[in-house]
Amino acid sequence: MPINITMPALSPTMEEGILAKWHVKEGDSVSAGDVICEIETDKATMEVEAVDEGTIGKILVADGTENVKVNSVIAILLEEGEEPADISTKNVEPAKIAAAPTPPPSPAPSAAKTLTPADSTAPLTPVSTPGARIFSSPLARRLAKDAGIDLSVLSGSGPKGRIVKADVDTAIRDGAPSNVQSVKSAATLAQGMGAKEVLALYEEGTYELRPNDGMRTVVAARLTQAKQTIPHFYLSIDCNLDNLLAARAEINAAAPKDKEGKTAYKISVNDFIVKAWALALQQVPDANATWAGDSILYHKDSDVAVAVAVPGGLFTPVVRAAQTKSLKQISAEVRDYAIRAKTKKLAPHEYQGGATAISNLGMYGIKQFSAVINPPHGTILAVGAGAEQVVAIKGEIKTATIMSVTLSCDHRSVDGALGATALAAFKAMIENPVMMLA
């Protein structure tokens, strides 16, 4: 009998996603393991493979459809000898696959322009019939509300004319009007500034309004939760990098080269930092902990997340059991994560979990900063740039390359003395890198 292909859950908490693209069409034959479509969440784009062989009999959810519920039927696979006439969708949940009716056509969009307050009162002829239901995705409705855009003036490019995020983005870019009330609402949400001050800025100049995408929304929500619910405290320490830099230069100089002169590996200072922090947590295992409400989880392995900046936010892919991996292994793994993070090709299991994280802004010249803990982690190590400084060493005035690091701790699971002990162990590893290679 025909086989239902359902929307997969890419993570334990996923409830819905975007069916970004089909790689097959109705009538195509597929085998187990063939990529049939791409599913997009706020964090990643994943390829979905067929688990059975057969023929794609019917595609129920079109490319670009948003808010597709997990376990909704997205297509139907026919087994050998079956025909499209054998397909029945009577047991398929209608709300999960039904598309909105096509609204009346709209005029072609106008040329892009810069938004000004004067535009907010310009009249527009609504696309939809007054009083009629406007079909749009929840994300499009939220973005339109935040931007003060009336959905009735838009035409949708989604399935059967549904208004989707791209339509709202286009409206904002092309100068769709926002009403005064919406501007006032946005102003009141600008924490730290009063509505009058924000409105004054709007009235005196032009501006560009950029709606938040899914990633930025999730980042904002999680970090707001972190600062509101996690009692942070901070510990800072300076580390002498001279021995580490010498060891790094020696290791990289010994790397084999191919015929084109390209080295097999190149260890970075950050690779040493990941290794040192992983080993430090093994020396002070009680600091390798996360808060779990009525319990504390003490982790056996040092699963270290590494913050990777991407447009619109960041990923924190996790180097699992980093204490067991060589510097070369850590270097290759982090480099691979960074490349795939920028194209949202990380699998959920690669950026979820971990007990701690490292955020390194040294490459931007930042000397010192304090990072926000990313739940459910118990700590995060903020790393600044190494800089040459004048220091006193055994009674003599010398120069050394000094790196400042700040450890943010969740006081519920890691107390002050415990965090300080772990940070001291990290400093010892950094200043005596041979200890990492033993």
SS (H, E, C) 56-67: EEEECCCCCEEE
Say if residue 110's pLDDT is above 50. Answer: no
Query: 117: which DSSP letter?
Result: G
Lowest mean pLDDT among 163-172, 209-218, 245-254, 345-354: 209-218
Radius of gyration in angstroms for the set of CA atoms belonging to the chain, rounded to a whole number = 27
Say if residue 185's pLDDT is above 80. Answer: no
Q: Are 366 and 405 in contact (CB under 8 A)?
A: no
What pLDDT was estimated at residue 108? 40
What pLDDT was estimated at residue 89? 59
Cα angle at 95 between 91 and 98, to 5 degrees?
Answer: 90
Q: List the one residue out of 269, 172, 259 whose CA is nearest residue 212.
A: 172
Q: What is the pLDDT confidence band of residue 45, given thresholds at 50, 70 and 90? A: confident
pTM for the model stands at 0.63
Say if residue 128's pLDDT is above 80. Answer: no
Q: What is the pLDDT confidence band of residue 105, given thresholds at 50, 70 and 90? A: very low
* Mean pLDDT value of segment 3-31: 86
pLDDT mean across residues, the chain: 81
Q: Give the torsion sign (CA, 388, 390, 394, 396).
A: positive
Q: How far apart are CA 326 and CA 426, in angstroms?
A: 17
Say if residue 214's pLDDT is above 60. Answer: yes
Say if residue 195's pLDDT is above 50. Answer: no
What pLDDT was estimated at residue 433? 95
* Mean pLDDT value of segment 302-328: 92
* Mean pLDDT value of segment 13-17: 80
Mean pLDDT is highest, among 53-62, 189-198, 317-326, for 317-326
- Token couple for 127: 């696309």
Q: What is the pLDDT confidence band of residue 96, given thresholds at 50, 70 and 90? A: very low
Q: What is the pLDDT confidence band of residue 42, given thresholds at 50, 70 and 90? A: low
Cα angle at 287 between 284 and 292, to 5 degrees?
Answer: 145
Lowest mean pLDDT among 135-144, 223-232, 391-400: 135-144
Query: Could you give the domains of the chain?
Result: 3-97 (2.40.50.100), 117-211 (no CATH), 231-437 (3.30.559.10)
Say if residue 70's pLDDT is above 70. Answer: yes
What pLDDT was estimated at residue 280? 98
Say if residue 201's pLDDT is above 90. Answer: no
Per residue, the 3-state secondary structure of 255-319, as one string, reads CCECCCCCECCCCCHHHHHHHHHHHHHHHCHHHCEEECCCCEEECCCCCEEECEEECCEEECCEE
Say if residue 177's pLDDT is above 60. Answer: no
* Mean pLDDT value of segment 69-89: 83
Q: What is the pLDDT confidence band of residue 1, given thresholds at 50, 70 and 90? A: confident
- Token couple for 282: 């093994």
- The residues carrying an active-site annotation are 411
Say if residue 93's pLDDT is above 70. Answer: no
Q: What is the pLDDT confidence band of residue 404, given thresholds at 50, 70 and 90? A: very high
Q: What is the pLDDT confidence band of residue 260, given thresholds at 50, 70 and 90? A: confident
What pLDDT was estimated at residue 221? 82
Q: What is the pLDDT confidence band of residue 165, given thresholds at 50, 70 and 90? A: confident
Q: Are 20 and 92 in contact (CB under 8 A)?
A: no
What pLDDT was estimated at residue 43? 65
Do β-strands 379-393 and 356-360 pair in parallel, antiparallel, or remain unpaired? parallel
SS3 content of the chain, % helix, strand, coil (to 5): 35, 25, 40
Say if residue 247's pLDDT is above 80. Answer: yes
Mean pLDDT is highest, among 51-65, 135-149, 204-218, 229-243, for 229-243
* Mean pLDDT value of segment 245-251: 95
Say if residue 423's pLDDT is above 90. Answer: yes
Q: Are 140 and 67 in contact (CB under 8 A)?
A: no
* Mean pLDDT value of segment 375-385: 96
